[in-house]
Amino acid sequence: MTRGYIFRLASILGYALFVIISLISGFNPGKEIGANFVSFSEDMLKLLPPAFILIGLFEVWVKKETVAKHFGEGSGFKGYLWAVLLAGTTVGGLYVAFPVAYSLGSKGAKLSIIFTYIGASAICRVPMTIFEASFMGIKFTAIRLLVSLPLVILASILLGDYLTKRNYEISEGK
């Protein structure tokens, strides 16, 4: 066993022990931490399995050539628009966006377009935008999107070009 494994195991056991002692002793912050963990775990168990099934189907059904055509080097500015549209429909936030981004990269998407997809996933999902508009107003939401989306695209292009010039490649996971 490595030190990292032992440290992770000790951290998990320490956390569990803290929550159990909090439940027994009535320590409210510890009880709330345990309740939040259970609530978060339930949400993730509802969200992630269907999302990973859809990502798996995407891996199998969508051809590499199709992704390369719409998101690859020759896609031009349309690739960024496709990335924003795909990000807007992504449910589950960044928990789902990162595996989708990895899948896009493995099928030949341009690095800067992948970054645009990740950034847009964080700021312009349709359900989040509707929720925001209902509380903050349509004008606020429109201004936020009109300011943030070009900045995300610009930052993605700069970062993608920087990493491409240095021959960066997405490595396979362990």
Query: Would you write out the chain's pLDDT as a tens digit for each of its 174 residues?
Result: 788 889 999 999 999 999 999 999 999 999 999 999 999 999 888 888 888 898 899 889 999 999 999 999 988 999 999 999 999 988 877 888 999 999 999 899 999 999 999 999 999 888 889 999 999 999 999 999 999 999 999 999 999 999 989 988 777 655
Question: Based on the structure, what is the number of domains in the chain?
Answer: 2
Determine the 3-state secondary structure of 90 from DSSP: coil
Give the amino acid at 173: G
Give the amino acid at 3: R
Q: For position 174, what pLDDT does the model report?
A: 53
Whether residue 57 lies inside any domain: the answer is no
Same domain, 90 and 40: no
Q: How far is it, in rounded angstroms, from Cα 141 to Cα 149?
A: 12
Q: For position 43, what pLDDT does the model report?
A: 87
Whether residue 54 lies inside any domain: the answer is no
Whether residue 94 lies inside any domain: the answer is yes
Same domain, 96 and 173: yes
Q: For position 3, what pLDDT does the model report?
A: 84
Domain that holds residue 76: 62-174
Neighbour tally for 12: CB within 10 Å: 10
Same domain, 86 and 171: yes
Neighbour tally for 139: CB within 10 Å: 9
Q: How far is it, in rounded angstroms, from Cα 119 to Cα 69?
A: 21
Q: Which tokens in the block code for residue 73?
A: 């080097």
Torsion angle of the four alpha carbons 148, 55, 99, 91, in this order, in degrees rounded to the nearest 10: 40
Whether residue 56 lies inside any domain: the answer is no
